[in-house]
Amino acid sequence: SIYEMFGNECCLSTGEVIKVIGFKTNKLIASICENNEVSQFSAKVELPLNFPGLYKVVADKTPYVSIEEITRKVSIGPTRFGHPCFYSPEDLKLANFTVKYGEQITFNSVEEVNGTMAVNCVVVRNNQPHSFTLPLSQEGKFYECEDDQIYTLKEIAEWKIPKCRNRIVRLSNTLHTWDFSNPLPENFDGCLILMPVYEVQALMKNRKDIVHILSDLDVEVKDITDCYDISSFLQPLSLEDVFERTSMEFPMVAEIMEGPSESQKPYNLLSAGKEIIIYKKYQAARILASEIRSDSPKRHFLIPMSYKGKFKRRPREFPTAYDLEIARSEKEQLHVVATKAFASPHKDLLSVSVGDQFLVQQCQTSEVLYGGRKKVVDVLACEQILSDTYKKVLLPVYMEGSFVEVIHDKKQYYLSEICKEFPLPFNVKVSVRDLSIKEDVLAAVPGLQFEEEITDSYLLISSASNPVESWEIPVYRLNMLVHLLSKDVQRVVPPMTKTTVEEISKEQYYMVRRYENQTHHPPPRPPKKPT
Mean pLDDT, range 19-41, rounded to an integer: 76
Residue 119 banded pLDDT, cuts 50, 70, 90:
very high
Query: How distant, in Å, are the alpha carbons of 81, 84, 119, 201, 410 from that of 108?
Result: 10, 8, 7, 26, 50
User: Regarding predicted confidence, which is higher, 450 or 270?
Assistant: 450
Residue 91: predicted pLDDT:
92
Residue 174: predicted pLDDT:
64
Mean pLDDT, range 21-42, rounded to an integer: 75
Residue 173 banded pLDDT, cuts 50, 70, 90:
confident
Above 50 in pLDDT, residue 521? no
Domain ranges of the chain: 1-59+146-233, 66-144, 235-314+407-518, 317-405
Above 50 in pLDDT, residue 519? no
**What is the spatial distance between Cα 218 and Cα 409, in angstroms, rounded to a whole number?**
70
Closest residue by Cα to residue 448 from 336, 308, 314: 314
Domain at 317-405: CATH code: 2.30.30.40
Closest residue by Cα to residue 379 from 354, 391, 362, 392: 362
Does the N-terminal peptide bond of residue 425 adopt cis geometry, omega within 30 degrees of 0?
yes
Residue 254 banded pLDDT, cuts 50, 70, 90:
very high
Mean pLDDT computed over every residue of the chain: 83
- pLDDT per residue as tens digits for the range 428-468: 999 999 988 888 899 989 899 999 999 889 999 999 888 88
3-state secondary structure 206-235: CCCCCEEEECCCCCCCCCCHHHCCHHHCCC
User: Regarding predicted confidence, which is higher, 242 or 531?
Assistant: 242
- 10 Å CB burial of residue 368 (0-12, 13-18, 19+) is buried
Residue 396: predicted pLDDT:
82
Which DSSP letter does residue 59 get?
Answer: P
Above 80 in pLDDT, residue 269? no
**What is the spatial distance between Cα 207 and Cα 257, in angstroms, rounded to a whole number?**
10
- pLDDT per residue as tens digits for the range 178-235: 555 677 777 777 888 998 888 888 887 767 777 777 777 777 888 888 888 777 777 8
Give start and end residues of each alpha helix (H) in 18-94: 67-73
Q: Is the dihedral of CA 250, 253, 257, 261 positive or negative?
A: positive
Mean pLDDT, range 100-124, rounded to an integer: 90
* Length of the chain, in residues: 531
Residue 523: predicted pLDDT:
44
Residue 39: predicted pLDDT:
58
Residue 214: predicted pLDDT:
75
Mean pLDDT, range 150-171, rounded to an integer: 87
Closest residue by Cα to residue 64 from 144, 175, 164, 119: 144
**What is the spatial distance between Cα 189 and Cα 392, in angstroms, rounded to a whole number?**
50
Residue 178: predicted pLDDT:
55
Residue 115 CA to its chain's centroid (Å): 37
Above 80 in pLDDT, residue 5? no
Residue 151 CA to its chain's centroid (Å): 9
Mean pLDDT, range 511-530, rounded to an integer: 53
Above 60 in pLDDT, residue 395? yes
